Chains A and B, each alone.
Chain A
Amino acid sequence: MTTAPGTWHLDQTLVRRYVDAVTDAVTAASVESHLLRCAGCRQAIADESADPASVARRALIWEDVVDRLDAPRVGIIERLVHRLGIGAHDARLLAATPSLQVSWLASLLLVLGFAVAAAHGRDEAGALFLLAAPLIPVAGVAAAYGPDIDPAHELGIAAPYRTSRLLLLRCVSVLVASAGLAGCAALALPAAGWSQAAWLLPALGLTLTTLALSTRLSPVVSAAAVALTWVLVVVKLVQLDRTAELAGATAQAMFLALIVAAAAVVVVRHDQFDTRSAV
C-alpha cells in the first residue's frame, strides 16, 4: 500500500471488510469510487469473493444471462400489444397471428393506397375502395387461424387453451388493426361525408359472416366464399351504376341485420371451433 495520491489501493483487510459488507458508508463509497478505475483492485475483490456460495450465485446469474441471450427477442407487435394491457401469454399468441405480421400489415397499406389512388383518378369516387376495404378484415380473419396458414397451429391444438378463445382474440385484434388502417385510408378519399364510413358496416358484416361460416367450413374456404359474393355484388352494382346505394340507409340497415345474424350464429356455435380444431 502506498499513500501518495493517485496510487492508493485497497489492502487485503479493506478488501475483506468490503466483501463482508462491514465497512462503514464512507469507506464503502471510497472503495467503490476507486474500484471503478482500478482493474487490479477489482481483481482483488473478485478473488476475495470466490467462496463457493458466491461463485455458484454468479454462475447461476450467468446461466440466466445466456438463456435470455438465446431467447427470441420480443417483436414490436408483441411489445405493442403487451403495452396495451394484454397479458404476456396472450400477447405472444396474438403476435404469432400470421395476419398481424408487419409484412402483412404493410401489404394491406399498399392495397388501400392503390384503392385510394384509384378513387382519386375517377368520378365514381370510392367504388373501388368500397370493394376493397371490407375484404381486408375478411382476409385477415381467414389468415388468423387454421391448419393451412398458422405455423403454430399444431402447437395451439396441443396447448391447454380454448381454440375459440384464441380464434376470437385473434379475430378481434385483426379486425381492429385492419379496420384501423382502412379507416385511416378512408380519410384520404376525395369524397367527404358519410360515404367515407360506408365500408365499416359491410366490413363488420362480411367478417362476422366469415366467422359464422368457419364454424362449419375451414376459415380459408369461408373467407373465399364471402369475398367472392361481395365482389360479385359490387361488380353488379357498378354495372348498374348504383354503387351510391351501398352507402344508403337501406343497404346499411341490411348490413346491420347481417352483423346481428352472423354474431348470433358465432355465439351459438362457438363450441364448433373447439371440436373442429383437430381437423
Chain B
Amino acid sequence: MQIHDDPRTDAELLAVVAESDRDALSVLYARHAPWLVLRLSRRCADPSVVDETVQDTFLAVWRSARKYSGQGEVAAWIWGIGVRRLIDTLRREPAATVMLTEPSRTEISAEEQVLLGVEYGDLAGALHTLSPELHAVVQATVLDGLTTREASRLLGIPAGTVKTRMMRARAALREELV
C-alpha cells in the first residue's frame, strides 16, 4: 500500500472509488485507517469492536462514495461514518466496554499548554476542569458531532443523562471562561 506515491487527493480518490476502483479504496485505507483505528480506540476499549467498526466504515465508504458531496474534508466524512458504525456495533454487542476516562493521565508539558492555547484559547483550560463524565459528553456531542441519542448509545447512558451532563458541562465552562 503506497501512501506517499499516489498524487491524487482524497476527494479525487473517492470519485474513483464511486466507480468501483478497489485500488483507490486501498489508497484511502492506507491514508485513513491509522488515525481512524487510534481515534476509535480512544472511544472503545475492545479492539475487536474497533476492528469490526473500521471494516464496516470502509465498506460503507465503498458503497456510499457516490454520496460524498465533494464539500468538506474527506477525513471528516469518514469519521462521521466511523463513529456511527461504532455506535451500531456497540448496540449489537452491548457487553463491550466504553472508556469513560482516559487510560492513563499524565501531566501536560508546558509545550502542550501552548499548543492548546493556540488551538482553543481559554477553552482548553476550562475543559481540563471538567470531570471525566462531563468531558466524555462534551467530546461526544461537540467534538464528535453526535446527536444526544447517538451519544447516549456510545457512552452507554440514558439520553436524559447526556442532556443533563451537557447542561452541567456548559454551566461549568461558562463559569470558568467568564
B47 to chain A, nearest CB (A): 8
Whether B103 contacts A61 by the Cβ 8 Å rule is no
- For residue A79, CB closer than 8 A to chain B, the reply is no
Whether A5 contacts B3 by the Cβ 8 Å rule is no
Whether B31 contacts A42 by the Cβ 8 Å rule is yes
- For residue B97, CB closer than 8 A to chain A, the reply is no
Whether A69 contacts B22 by the Cβ 8 Å rule is yes
Question: Which of chain B's residues 18-37 have a Cβ closer than 8 Å to chain A?
Answer: 22, 25-26, 29-35, 37
Cβ 8 A contact of B127, one of A8, A29, A36, A45:
A29
Whether A13 contacts B111 by the Cβ 8 Å rule is yes
Question: Which of chain A's residues 93-124 have a Cβ closer than 8 Å to chain B?
Answer: none
A37 to B75, CA, bound (A): 7
Q: 27 A–B contact pairs at CB < 8 A?
A: A1-B115, A5-B118, A8-B118, A19-B38, A21-B38, A22-B104, A23-B102, A23-B112, A24-B128, A25-B127, A25-B132, A26-B135, A29-B143, A30-B116, A30-B119, A32-B42, A33-B119, A36-B75, A36-B76, A39-B10, A42-B35, A45-B38, A54-B37, A61-B37, A62-B1, A62-B29, A65-B55
Residue of A nearest to B105 (CB): A24
- For residue A49, CB closer than 8 A to chain B, the reply is yes
B104 cross-chain contacts in A, Cβ below 8 A: 21-22
Cβ 8 A contact of B119, one of A8, A19, A25:
A8
Whether B115 contacts A8 by the Cβ 8 Å rule is yes
B121 to chain A, nearest CB (A): 10
Q: A46-B35, A49-B34, A61-B51 are in contact. Are A21 and B76 (CB under 8 A)?
A: no
Cβ 8 A contact of B135, one of A5, A25, A32:
A25
B79 cross-chain contacts in A, Cβ below 8 A: 36
Whether B59 contacts A68 by the Cβ 8 Å rule is yes
Whether A30 contacts B111 by the Cβ 8 Å rule is no
A42 cross-chain contacts in B, Cβ below 8 A: 31-32, 34-35, 75
Residue of B nearest to A59 (CB): B1
A42 to B34, CA, bound (A): 8
- For residue A272, CB closer than 8 A to chain B, the reply is no
A33 to B26, CA, bound (A): 24
Q: A25-B132, A49-B34 are in contact. Are A32 and B143 (CB under 8 A)?
A: yes
B54-89 vs A, Cβ < 8 Å mask (1 yes, 0 no): 110011001000000000010110010000000000
Cβ 8 A contact of B33, one of A24, A28, A62:
A62
B102 cross-chain contacts in A, Cβ below 8 A: 21, 23-25, 28
A35 to B37, CA, bound (A): 13
- For residue A269, CB closer than 8 A to chain B, the reply is no
- For residue A14, CB closer than 8 A to chain B, the reply is yes
A70 to chain B, nearest CB (A): 10
- For residue B98, CB closer than 8 A to chain A, the reply is no
A62 to B57, CA, bound (A): 11
- For residue A275, CB closer than 8 A to chain B, the reply is no
A41 to chain B, nearest CB (A): 9
Question: Which of chain B's residues 116-165 have a Cβ closer than 8 Å to chain A?
Answer: 116, 118-120, 124, 127-128, 132, 135-136, 139, 143
**Interface residues in chain B, defined as those with a beta carbon under 8 Å from any beta carbon in chain A:** 1, 3-4, 10, 22, 25-26, 29-35, 37-39, 41-42, 47, 51, 54-55, 58-59, 62, 73, 75-76, 79, 102-106, 108-109, 111-112, 114-116, 118-120, 124, 127-128, 132, 135-136, 139, 143
A74 to chain B, nearest CB (A): 13
A69 to B29, CA, bound (A): 14
Whether A27 contacts B112 by the Cβ 8 Å rule is yes
A46 to chain B, nearest CB (A): 4
A243 to B102, CA, bound (A): 79
- For residue A268, CB closer than 8 A to chain B, the reply is no
A28 to B124, CA, bound (A): 11
Residue of A nearest to B119 (CB): A30
- For residue A57, CB closer than 8 A to chain B, the reply is yes
A45 to B79, CA, bound (A): 16
Whether A65 contacts B118 by the Cβ 8 Å rule is no
A41 to B75, CA, bound (A): 12
